[in-house]
Every structure is written in structure tokens, then in C-alpha cells.
């Protein structure tokens, strides 16, 4: 019989180690855990029930919403609304902030930002997808309606962040600023069990993850870096291995465990990048830094970028620190498009 340490037990056990720990934060993480179980059940039924495929509307970014996007968004919102700790939610699937403080009349001190179902277009072909979340202390007065400033905080102000990956097994990975820990869902007993304590990313890796179909649209520095990755240099363990799933959570998770870099640069179509600063890049950057890695927009640390709008996009380079440093060197050396 193996010794099970559940997510709930681990949160309580480690609570004193976290500078922002409180019973309220623990309760909030528990609500995320509950929503993850509900969404996991729906993901596992995709193809058996009418929950896969397009919903028939677009989100604010002009992207076709999937049925599971809408389902996951509603389930996570409901889980947050059921807890008195959350005063508002900002979601990739919502045009504006959802203000619980005003609607429900509560005195809450946390705001949540989330991508309810990253990579949802892959559901129809049974590829792993995920949920990304980010938690901040509000900066507006408690008891008052939330303000946009509560959500446009620097990434380095996060008090917790994490993701759930729905794959061959379902995992919840999170940090509260004192290391990164992963919990695998055991459906036989209905709990998340500690499986990856204190995750550390290798300083170097041999995996690069990028949609090379957009190669012609990449900045020159990124093109030069890709040629560097593909060059045969046995003493440096090159050429590197190209691995790209197309779900940020999946590519990120693999690279954090094995060592590698994920790249989503600016392109001719998306001159500011495609990934969202608040819902994807900030939480993943907080996680990777806590695991010993690096996250950059090619010029500066992601967590030091001041957000200016809810759905702001940025280029994103994240992973093993030596690999991110190298791509930054190429971008600095070759700053212009061909």
C-alpha cells in the first residue's frame, strides 16, 4: 500500500511555508480542485456526449469558441462564485470582468484570472488540453466593486498560479511562491495525490516547441535560433528534438519535466504575439520561475510587463534558462525582420 498525500492534506501541511498562506487561500484552491474534477469528467466524455466541437460563437479575440470552452468557463466561474474569497474573475472567454462583489455583496480579497480550457480545439482529436489560473490580492477596497486595476497587476504580484492538464492522466500543478508541486488525479478514490513534489526544470534541455509552419513569418532572430537548434553539434547535444503539441499546457508541462523551450514569437499576422499575458503567460511564467526556469517576451521578463488591457497579447519564450537566454541573444543580435 502506497502512502497517499492528497492535495488538501498537502495544502494544510505546507501552509506555514507560504508567505501568503491563509485558510481563505486554501479554500480557494479547493474550489479550483473541485471545478477541475467536473471539467475532467466532461473532457473524458468528449465523443460520447454532445460536448465536443464548435459552440457557434466567437470570443473577444475573434476565435471560434468550442462547446467545452463555454462549459469549462461556466464551471470554473460557478466554483469561484460559490466561495466567499473571490470578488471577481477575468477569463479569456469573457469580454469583461465578472464582478462577484457587486452582484453577490461579499467582502472578498482575491481575484482570479483564467484560461478555462487551453487547447480546446484539440478535443475532437483526443489531444491533451488544460486549464490555467492565476490568483492575486485585490488592490481596490474590500467590500467595494472590483476595478480594472485589480486585474491589470504585474505578474510578479501573483500569490498563486497553476494549471490542470487533462491527458492520459489528469494533473494539477501549482505554486504559491515556494516551489512547484504536481498532483495526479486518482479517479478510483476521487482525489488528487501528490506525485511530483518540488519540480525543478533542467538548466539545459534538448527539446524546442514551436509551430514551424509559421517559419516564414517569424522574426529573423527566431529563424536564426531555430537553425542553431537544428545544427549538428554532438558535443552540445544538438540537433535538438522538435516537439510541438499545440496545447500550451501540454507543451509547457513536458518541457518543464524534461528540459526544453516553448516559443510563440510575434509573426506577421500577430505582431504582438498570440498568447495572452494575463491568462496564459503570467501564470506560466510564475510557475516556471518557481521551478528554476525563465520566461521572456524576447527582451524582458514576462512578470515585469505592465498589463494595459485584459486581453493583451505578448510574444512568449519559456523554459530552461540557458535555452531562453540563447534565444534572447539571437533576438538581440538580429532585431529586424528579413
* Distance separating alpha carbons of residues 182 and 187, to the nearest angstrom: 16
Determine if residue 264 is labeled as part of a ligand binding site: yes
Q: Is 263 annotated as a binding residue?
A: yes
Query: What gap in Å lies between CA 192 and CA 29, rounded to an integer?
Result: 12
Q: What is the C-alpha separation between 175 and 196, in angstroms, rounded?
A: 12
**DSSP E strands, the chain:** 54-58, 64-66, 86-91, 98-99, 110-118, 129-137, 160-166, 170-175, 180-186, 191-196, 207-209, 241-242, 261-264, 294-296, 316-319
- Of 285, 292, 290, nearest in space to 264 by CA: 285
Is 244 marked as a binding-site residue?
Answer: yes
Please answer whether residues 39 and 197 qualify as being in contact, where contact means their C-beta atoms are separated by less than 8 angstroms.
no
58 is in an annotated binding site: no
Please check if 115 is assigned to a binding site: yes
Taking the C-alpha atoms of residue 333 and residue 324, their distance in angstroms, rounded to an integer, is 14
Round to whole Å and give the CA distance between 299 and 273.
13
Check whether 118 is labelled as a binding-site residue.
yes
- Tally the residues of the chain: 338
211 annotated as belonging to a binding site for a ligand:
yes
Q: Which uninterrupted H or E stretch holds 288?
A: helix 282-290
121 is in an annotated binding site: yes
Please state the residue numbers annotated as binding site for substrate.
118-121, 211, 244, 262-264, 274
Please state the residue numbers annotated as binding site for Mg(2+).
92, 115, 117-118, 280
Please state the residue numbers annotated as binding site.
92, 115, 117-121, 211, 244, 262-264, 274, 280
Amino acid at each position: 500500500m502506497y502512502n497517499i498525500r492528497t492535495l488538501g492534506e498537502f495544502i494544510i501541511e505546507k501552509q506555514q511555508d507560504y508567505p501568503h498562506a491563509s485558510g481563505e487561500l486554501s479554500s480557494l484552491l479547493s474550489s479550483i480542485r473541485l471545478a477541475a474534477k467536473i471539467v475532467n469528467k466532461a473532457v473524458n466524455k468528449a465523443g460520447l456526449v454532445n460536448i465536443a466541437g464548435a459552440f457557434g460563437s466567437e470570443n473577444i479575440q475573434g476565435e471560434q469558441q468550442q462547446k467545452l470552452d463555454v462549459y469549462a468557463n461556466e464551471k470554473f466561474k460557478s466554483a469561484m462564485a460559490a466561495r466567499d474569497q473571490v470578488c471577481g474573475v477575468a477569463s479569456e472567454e469573457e469580454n469583461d470582468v465578472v464582478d462577484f462583489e457587486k452582484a453577490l455583496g461579499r467582502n472578498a480579497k482575491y481575484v482570479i484570472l483564467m484560461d478555462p480550457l487551453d487547447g480546446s480545439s484539440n478535443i475532437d482529436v483526443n489531444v491533451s488540453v488544460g486549464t490555467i489560473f492565476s490568483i492575486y490580492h485585490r488592490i481596490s477596497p474590500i467590500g467595494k466593486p472590483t476595478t480594472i486595476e485589480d486585474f491589470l497587476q504585474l505578474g510578479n504580484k501573483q500569490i498563486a498560479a497553476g494549471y490542470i492538464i487533462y491527458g492520459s492522466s489528469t494533473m494539477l500543478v501549482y505554486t504559491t511562491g515556494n516551489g512547484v508541486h504536481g498532483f495526479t488525479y486518482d479517479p478510483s478514490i476521487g482525489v488528487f495525490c501528490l506525485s511530483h513534489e518540488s519540480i525543478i526544470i533542467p538548466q539545459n534541455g534538448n527539446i524546442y516547441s514551436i509551430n514551424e509552419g509559421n517559419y516564414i513569418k517569424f522574426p529573423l532572430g527566431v529563424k536564426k535560433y531555430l537553425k542553431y537548434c537544428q545544427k549538428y553539434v554532438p558535443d552540445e547535444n544538438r540537433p535538438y528534438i522538435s516537439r510541438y503539441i499545440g496545447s500550451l499546457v501540454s507543451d509547457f508541462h513536458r518541457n518543464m519535466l524534461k528540459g526544453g523551450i516553448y516559443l510563440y514569437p510575434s509573426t506577421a499576422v500577430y505582431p504582438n504575439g498570440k498568447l495572452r499575458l494575463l491568462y496564459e503567460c503570467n501564470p506560466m511564467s510564475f510557475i516556471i520561475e518557481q521551478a528554476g526556469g525563465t520566461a521572456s517576451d524576447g527582451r524582458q521578463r514576462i512578470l515585469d510587463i505592465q498589463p494595459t488591457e485584459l486581453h493583451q497579447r505578448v510574444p512568449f519564450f519559456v523554459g530552461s534558462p540557458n535555452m531562453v537566454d540563447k534565444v534572447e541573444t539571437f533576438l538581440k543580435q538580429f532585431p529586424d525582420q528579413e
